[in-house]
């Protein structure tokens, strides 16, 4: 199957836009900067996305997809031990954030704080992305409950919601403290203690 130039251009726009939004935020990133990075005319950008707001909403979905795939892959690979898979995912995430010197954090948290209450399109995209992320955690917790690793007096959905809320807060604290200590604390307090059977 041949990949069309239009698809390549669209993917390049999403990839470069993602980097710029992570580094500079929504309001700090201009269309000219994005278009200049990928050498695409302004008219083509509007044909692909319609507006900067729509573009940001698509980037949100583009951003979360690899995290969903990675976590689901770990859940499928770790010899039927979901708890080990969840820990592995978190430990590797923490190492990656240390490597990048805490830059960026989580695009979902960043954009929630910046435009979550001013852009209906982006708010909807953020809710969908966080919901999808929560759903994979719910699968992981449900599997770990069946394995006897995670408490069963709370539903997997309740724990997944608490996890996502806590992890997002820890990511924000990581940025201001320039340390993974909030992430490690979140993991130890919830995954290794409160959620344990």
**Average pLDDT, integer, range 38-54:** 89
- Tell whether 167 is covered by a domain: yes
CA distances from 144 to 17, 19, 151, 160 (A): 37, 34, 9, 12
- Tell whether 27 is covered by a domain: no
- Tell whether 107 is covered by a domain: yes
Alpha-carbon distance 139 to 179, whole Å? 29
- Tell whether 85 is covered by a domain: yes
If one counts the domains in the chain, the total is: 1
In the chain, % of residues over pLDDT 70 = 98
Does the pLDDT at position 102 exceed 80? no
Contacts of 100 (CB under 8 A, 6+ apart): none
Does the pLDDT at position 2 exceed 60? no
- Cβ atoms < 10 Å from Cβ of 174: 23
- Tell whether 23 is covered by a domain: no
Does the pLDDT at position 100 exceed 90? no
* Torsion angles phi and psi, residue 88, rounded to 5: -60, -45
In the chain, % of residues over pLDDT 90 = 76
Summarised one tens digit per residue, pLDDT across range 4-32 is 777 788 899 999 999 999 989 999 999 88
- Tell whether 39 is covered by a domain: no
Does the pLDDT at position 1 exceed 60? no
More confident position, 157 or 79: 157
Q: What does the block give as tokens for 12? A: 């390049």
Alpha-carbon distance 118 to 43, whole Å? 26
Q: What does the block give as tokens for 107? A: 């695009």
- Tell whether 7 is covered by a domain: no
- Tell whether 62 is covered by a domain: yes
Per the document, the length of the chain is 197
What's the whole-number average pLDDT of the chain?
A: 92
Alpha-carbon distance 168 to 64, whole Å? 13
Does the pLDDT at position 105 exceed 90? no
Please give the pLDDT value at position 42: 87
pLDDT band at 80 (very low <50, low <70, confident <90, very high): confident
CATH number assigned to the domain comprising residue 85: 1.10.357.10
Summarised one tens digit per residue, pLDDT across range 135-190 is 999 999 999 999 999 999 999 999 999 999 999 999 999 999 999 999 999 999 99
Please give the pLDDT value at position 172: 92
Does the pLDDT at position 3 exceed 70? no
* Structural domain that includes position 107: 52-194
Q: Identify which of 109, 92, 106, 105 has the alpha carbon closest to the alpha carbon of residue 187.
A: 92
């Amino acid at each position: 199957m041949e990949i069309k130039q239009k698809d390549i251009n669209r993917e390049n726009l999403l990839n470069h836009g993602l980097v710029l939004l992570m580094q500079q935020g929504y309001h700090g990133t201009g269309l000219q900067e994005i278009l200049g990075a990928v050498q695409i005319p302004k008219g083509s950008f509007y044909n692909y996305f319609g507006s900067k707001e729509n573009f940001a909403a698509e980037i949100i979905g583009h951003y979360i997809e690899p995290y969903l795939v990675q976590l689901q892959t770990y859940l499928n690979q770790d010899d039927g031990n979901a708890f080990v898979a969840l820990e592995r995912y978190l430990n590797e995430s923490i190492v990656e954030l240390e490597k990048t010197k805490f830059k960026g954090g989580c695009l979902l948290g960043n954009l929630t704080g910046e435009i979550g209450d001013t852009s209906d399109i982006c708010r909807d995209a953020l809710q969908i992305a966080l919901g999808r992320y929560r759903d994979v955690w719910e699968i992981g917790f449900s599997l770990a409950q069946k394995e006897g690793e995670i408490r069963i007096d709370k539903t997997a959905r309740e724990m997944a919601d608490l996890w996502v809320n806590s992890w997002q807060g820890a990511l924000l604290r990581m940025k201001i403290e320039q340390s993974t200590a909030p992430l490690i604390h979140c993991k130890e307090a919830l995954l290794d203690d409160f959620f344990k059977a």
